[in-house]
């Protein structure tokens, strides 16, 4: 199973279209998908209660535990997001910040929520689009995605970045990029399926 984490507020927009192509590729490679629309799931920001320093869960009583279970169970992660002010949208960042139970378990208590064997399989595909015709806009989002992958034990293994969307307007004007999203999703799914077969 792959967790597809969607960072945009806009369902059906350019980021969504790229994510759906990556999902289609992963499904064609034999994987199932659990999609998480970060802006629409009702998960609050991290309140820094630090309860997760002692326990493997968050003390904020909302829907976050449901998504922790998905992130623990999955064999791979796709994160798809637009660039916002040289970073990622607030809802997605808040969702990532709420994954402190993974951080505390791994780095503070030395009891990772993902086993060492499972971590060997888990990989991340990062999809990101930006409006400006400037390569630097991806620096912040890429670093955030890599840190998130380290925390949840899903190694940052591939990326698809598309800038200049203010001029391109619709990602459908870039069929090569849509094709790349499918191919990268397929490669992620195939790698996971093959790794699973080798450990069966």
Residues with Cβ < 8 Å from 126, sequence gap 6 or more? 78, 79, 141, 142, 145, 156, 158, 159, 160
User: In this model, does residue 161 exceed pLDDT 90?
Assistant: yes
- Enumerate the domain spans of the chain: 2-199
Instruction: Name residue 111's beta-bridge partners.
Output: none
Is the Cβ–Cβ distance between 34 and 107 less than 8 Å? no
Residue 129 main-chain phi, psi, to 5 deg: -125, 150
What is the predicted pLDDT for the residue at 200? 58
Sheet with 2-6: list strands edge to edge.
Answer: 33-37, 2-6, 76-82, 123-129, 155-162
Cα–Cα distance between 8 and 11 in angstroms, integer?
Answer: 7
Fold topology of 2-199: Rossmann fold (3.40.50)
pLDDT > 90: percent of the chain: 84
Mean pLDDT of the chain: 94
- Residue 96 tokens read as 């990532």
Q: How confident is the model at residue 199 (pLDDT cuts 50, 70, 90)?
A: low
pTM comes to: 0.95
pLDDT digits (tens, 9 = 90+) for 105-114: 999 999 999 9
pLDDT > 70: percent of the chain: 99
């Amino acid at each position: 199973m792959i967790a597809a984490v969607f960072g945009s507020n806009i369902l059906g927009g350019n980021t969504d279209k790229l994510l759906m192509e990556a999902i289609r590729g992963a499904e064609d490679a034999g994987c199932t998908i659990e999609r998480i629309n970060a802006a629409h799931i009702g998960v609050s920001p991290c309140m820094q209660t630090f309860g997760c320093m002692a326990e493997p869960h968050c003390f904020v009583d909302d829907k976050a535990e449901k998504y922790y279970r998905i992130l623990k169970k999955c064999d791979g992660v796709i994160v798809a997001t637009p660039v916002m002010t040289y970073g990622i949208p607030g809802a997605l960042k808040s969702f990532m910040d709420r994954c402190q139970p993974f951080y505390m378990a791994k780095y503070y208590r030395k009891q990772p929520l993902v086993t060492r064997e499972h971590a060997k399989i888990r990989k991340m595909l990062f999809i990101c689009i930006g409006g400006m015709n400037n390569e630097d806009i991806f620096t912040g989002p890429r670093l955030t995605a890599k840190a998130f992958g380290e925390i949840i034990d899903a190694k940052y293994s591939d990326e698809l970045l598309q800038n200049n969307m203010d001029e391109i307007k619709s990602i459908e004007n870039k069929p090569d990029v849509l094709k790349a999203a499918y191919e990268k999703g397929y490669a992620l799914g195939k790698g996971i399926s093959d790794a699973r077969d080798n450990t069966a």
